[in-house]
Amino acid sequence: IPMSGVGEVLEVVGDFGPFQKRLVLFTVLPCLSVAFHQFCQLFMVSDVPHHCDTSWIRAVGPNLTEEEQLNLTLPRGADGAYEQCRRYSPVDWDLDSIRTYGLNATEECRSGWVYPAGQPPSLLTEYDLVCDRKDLNDISQSIYMLGMFLGSMIFGLLSDRIGRRPVILISVILQGFFGLGIAFVPHFYVYMAFRCVVGASVSGITMTILALATEWIGASSRPLAVLSSHCCFAVGQMLLAGLSYGIRNWRLLEIAGSAPIFASFLYFHMLPESARWLVTKGKIEEAKKVLQKAASCNKRTIPPELLEQSFCLLKLKPVKQTKSGSILDLFRRKHLQKVTSIMLCAWFVNSLVYYGLSLNVTNFGLDIYLTQLAFGAVEIPARVGCIFMLQWFGRKKNQAVLLLLSGLVCLVITVIPEDQPVATTVLAIIGKFTASASFSTSYIYSAELFPTVIRQTGLGLCSMSARLSGVVAPLIFLLDRYHRAIPMAIFGSAPVVGGLLCFLLPETCGTDLADDTGAG
């Protein structure tokens, strides 16, 4: 819908005054919260020594020492250590017979597992996420990402129908209560269901509050607003490292990370509705009030005649809708077909390598808290430096080279021996830097590649591609049972292909934005 009337009024209100800066400030808490929920599970499933419960032998040998019990009931592996996932099958013999003849038949751990005493409760120890249940850890991460994928669709449609403020309120309530609820779940499958809802609410909050900020902020200041939210996400990852280091009990950690979102209620009454959305719904008087409030906050005055003239036209003569493009136009026209296909691929592989590195923080060999701190810290220069790199090298080269570097780093990691954790972690941090910078590039490049009439549709489709990749990434880790290098080889080769394809895209730096789909 053409917003010439509202656009003129918004110009008078100001592009990035105190009113808009306050809006950007509102995004800080949600962005910090996203970082927590995205990666908190990594610190709740820390690996600990474990073995099968073999307390059955206590019935015939109540005075056995722990070492004697384990020696009689657990088989040893090739390295001489006790096996963690098998035990000798229980028998109805007396203790002397067991000692004399020994046990041969083995079975899986049917009576559960035993963990070191004095360990703070973790997801792994409470829900036995070991041996044949180990895969549930990666599956639950995938289900959280699926929640984000569903949330982006559901809340996107809902915010267009009922408004930005109600969707933000619903999402905050869902995230707060289900986030706290996770700390009290009795079963791991309930935990996964709650995480799915939290994932959906995370999408609802971030997507809607950023859309609201975008609709109030002038075009020249929007990149700064997006950059601010990305940097808050990076700071959130760093705070998670400190929080999880200080709180080792997973339930208390979940409460500590979920409760702060309720602080949003303290300033919710100050959150404005989008003036543009109000106009599209014919709520002219409400739009006038919110625009006047914004102007007052920015110490500006909207001339009464401009306000009346702009909205009088909207009342008397409903604004004709611009012929907007459909999703089919993205694939119907040849030039857009190429751009769309390559950008969908670029977003997918970018998300794949980003989460492939971020969710693998526990496997690089160094202290996970320091690694997480470095992973968060490196995103800030990556996001900020991206702005300068785009000006110096243009969009196409930047996008292609960053994806290629992200992939190559992962491929190099696959050939580094396991006993070289420092080299592996340093490479992973470099990969995180390039993947983060590539993500910021994608936001700007995609917005310039798609014509105005179909820009939001194109960006929405790319975002869904990235979300889908987020669902797939944790499942790829399941392939390490066949060879430890397979997941990282996939995370490396995919962005290399995506980076090469980006060289086929047109350069948009310094060119005017396309408004319609054109011929092709």
Q: What are the tens digits of pLDDT across the range 47-95?
A: 888 889 988 888 888 888 888 888 888 898 888 888 888 998 888 888 8
Q: How far is CA 481 from CA 134, 207, 484, in A?
A: 11, 36, 7
**pLDDT value of residue 319:** 45
Alpha-carbon torsion 476, 463, 386, 37, what sign? negative
Reading the block at residue 430, the tokens are 């470099």
In this prediction, residue 404 carries a pLDDT of: 95
Question: What's the pLDDT at 177?
Answer: 93
**pLDDT tens digits for 20-48?**
888 888 888 888 888 899 889 988 888 88
Which residue type is seen at 22?
Answer: R
Q: How confident is the model at residue 514 (pLDDT cuts 50, 70, 90)?
A: low
β-pairing verdict for 86-88 and 106-108? antiparallel
Radius of gyration (Cα) for the chain, nearest Å? Answer: 27
Q: Extract the tokens encoding 251.
A: 């339930």
Q: Which of 277-291, 307-321, 365-379 has the lowest mean pLDDT?
A: 307-321
Asked whether the predicted pLDDT for residue 262 surpasses 50, the reply is yes
For residue 348, pLDDT beyond 90: yes
Q: What is the pLDDT of residue 367?
A: 85
| Backbone φ and ψ of 324, nearest 5° | -85, 150
Q: What is the pTM for the complete model shown?
A: 0.85
- Cβ(239)–Cβ(251) under 8 Å? no
pLDDT score, position 269: 79
Mean pLDDT score across all residues of the chain: 83
Residue 113's H or E segment, with its range, is strand 113-114
On the question of pLDDT at 510 being above 70, the answer is no
Class of residue 421 by CB neighbours under 10 A (exposed 0-12, middle 13-18, buried 19+): middle
Report the C-alpha gap between 417 and 397 in whole angstroms.
32
Residue 253's pLDDT is what? 94
Higher pLDDT residue, 4 or 127? 127
Residue 322: pLDDT band with limits 50, 70, 90:
very low
Please report which confidence band the pLDDT of residue 306 belongs to, taking 50, 70 and 90 as the band edges: low
Task: Please give the domain boundaries of the chain with CATH numbers for all domains.
Answer: 1-32+126-320 (1.20.1250.20), 51-110 (no CATH), 326-515 (1.20.1250.20)
Which carries the bigger pLDDT value, residue 324 or residue 110? Answer: 110
Q: Which pLDDT does position 491 carry in this prediction?
A: 92
- CA 36 – CA 79 distance, rounded (Å): 38
Alpha-carbon distance of 454 to 83, in angstroms, equals 58
Token pair of 78 as six digits:
């090739």
Distance CA 37, CA 258 (A): 8
Q: Is the pLDDT of residue 462 over 70?
A: yes
Mean pLDDT for 231-244 is 90
407: left (phi over 0), alpha (psi -120 to 50) or beta: alpha
Residue 314 has pLDDT above 70, yes or no: no
Give the residue-averaged pLDDT of 454-461. Answer: 72
CA distance 250 to 130: 17
With bands split at pLDDT 50, 70 and 90, how would you rate the model's confidence at 11? Answer: confident
Each residue of 128-141: pLDDT tens digit? Answer: 888 888 899 889 99
Cα distance between residue 444 and residue 223, in whole Å: 8
- Sequence-distant (6+) residues with CB within 8 A of 331 are 337, 340
Structure tokens at 480: 């390490």
What is residue 324's DSSP assignment?
-
Q: Which carries the bigger pLDDT value, residue 454 or residue 199?
A: 199
Angle at 380 between CA 494 and CA 42, to 5 degrees: 60
Mean predicted confidence (pLDDT) in 291-312:
72
Q: What are the tens digits of pLDDT across the range 268-294?
A: 778 888 877 787 777 777 877 887 787
Count other C-beta atoms under 10 Å from residue 520's C-beta.
Answer: 10
Mean pLDDT of 472-482: 90
